């Protein structure tokens, strides 16, 4: 079966560009934006060969995994656009819950339980299932915003900073095409709530209810320093708030997050 938008996404006017194989769906989206595309349009493949994640790490999707990027050109500030990643996490989690229903019934208490890791990943049992990355570029008088979502459907990479897992390994037997249809519909809902940043308070509330490591020990490597403490919350701009041992509440805008026992490793 080929890729297709879900019915809600189709009705909402989203478009789709599907590829049998492509280097990077994010790169394709930005190139189209530079050429005049204004979206909203999804770029999707089950075989990505040259993708990249945060800090330009390789983001390769072997055939059968899902690489999807949504492009929209909008009149928002970059700081506001960055909060769209939290809506993306919620959309992905909702899509995963929908397609995992059969596995949940079959596996019972052992069913996968999805959690959102700041800023934009989805975890199962502390292992990374989904990576979400945002890129933005000024085009004309507006901002081209691309949200890339990579899901380990059939296979997970090895040697990653956070151990990774696939849906197949979790007992969820679905295709990249099935997951994408559910994701495209869920995106309509949470993008609508986000509403160009005006609805971030509700997105924040929903995200915190699904947050991994909330209230736990955390270490964040910002690239220039490591901050340790307790994951307190996220603020109204999406920054992670760390409560340090001396009681200070420190905002963090970006960094590599390690929880619990791994926090001491991340601080090393």
Q: What percent of the chain shows pLDDT beyond 70? A: 92
Length of the chain as a residue count: 268
pTM to 2 decimal places: 0.93
Chain CA centroid to CA 13, Å: 22
Question: Residue 50: what pLDDT?
Answer: 80
pLDDT of 121 strictly over 50:
yes
Question: Residue 266: what pLDDT?
Answer: 44
**The two structure tokens encoding residue 11:** 């009705």
Chain CA centroid to CA 50, Å: 18
The 10s digit of each residue's pLDDT in 6-59 is 999 999 999 999 999 999 999 999 999 999 999 999 999 999 988 665 554 555
How far is 18 from 70, CA to CA, in rounded Å?
Answer: 12
Q: Across 75-172, where does the E strand assignment appear?
A: 114-117, 121-124, 127-139, 142-151
The 10s digit of each residue's pLDDT in 211-254 is 999 999 999 998 888 999 999 999 999 999 999 999 999 999 98
How far is 197 from 136, CA to CA, in rounded Å?
Answer: 15
**Residue ranges of domains in the chain, CATH in brackets:** 7-208 (3.30.930.10), 217-266 (2.30.30.100)
Question: Residue 25: what pLDDT?
Answer: 96
The 10s digit of each residue's pLDDT in 138-190 is 999 999 999 999 999 999 988 887 899 999 999 999 999 999 999 999 999 99
Q: In 10 A of CB 177, how many CB atoms?
A: 16
């Amino acid at each position: 079966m080929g890729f297709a938008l879900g019915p809600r996404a189709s009705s909402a006017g989203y478009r789709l560009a599907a590829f049998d194989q492509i280097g990077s769906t994010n790169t394709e989206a930005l190139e189209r934006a530079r050429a005049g595309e204004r979206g909203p349009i999804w770029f999707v493949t089950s075989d990505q060969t040259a993708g990249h994640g945060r800090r330009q790490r390789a983001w390769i999707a072997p055939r059968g995994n899902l690489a999807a990027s949504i492009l929209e050109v909008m009149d928002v500030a970059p700081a506001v656009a960055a909060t769209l990643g939290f809506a993306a996490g919620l959309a992905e989690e909702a899509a995963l819950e929908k397609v995992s229903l059969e596995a949940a019934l079959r596996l019972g208490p052992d069913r996968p339980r999805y959690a959102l890791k700041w800023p934009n990943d989805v975890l199962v049992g502390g292992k990374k299932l989904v990576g979400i990355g945002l890129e933005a570029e000024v085009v004309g008088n507006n901002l081209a915003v691309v949200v890339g979502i990579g899901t380990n459907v059939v296979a997970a990479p090895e040697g990653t900073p956070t151990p990774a897992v696939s849906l197949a390994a979790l007992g969820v037997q679905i295709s990249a095409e099935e997951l994408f249809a559910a994701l495209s519909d869920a995106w309509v809902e949470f993008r609508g709530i986000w509403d160009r940043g005006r609805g971030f308070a509700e997105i924040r509330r929903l995200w915190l209810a699904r947050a991994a490591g909330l209230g736990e020990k955390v270490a964040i490597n910002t690239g220039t320093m490591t901050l340790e403490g307790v994951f307190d919350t996220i603020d109204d701009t999406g920054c992670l708030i760390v409560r340090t041992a001396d009681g200070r509440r420190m905002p963090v805008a970006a960094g590599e997050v390690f929880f619990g026992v791994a926090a001491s490793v991340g601080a090393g």
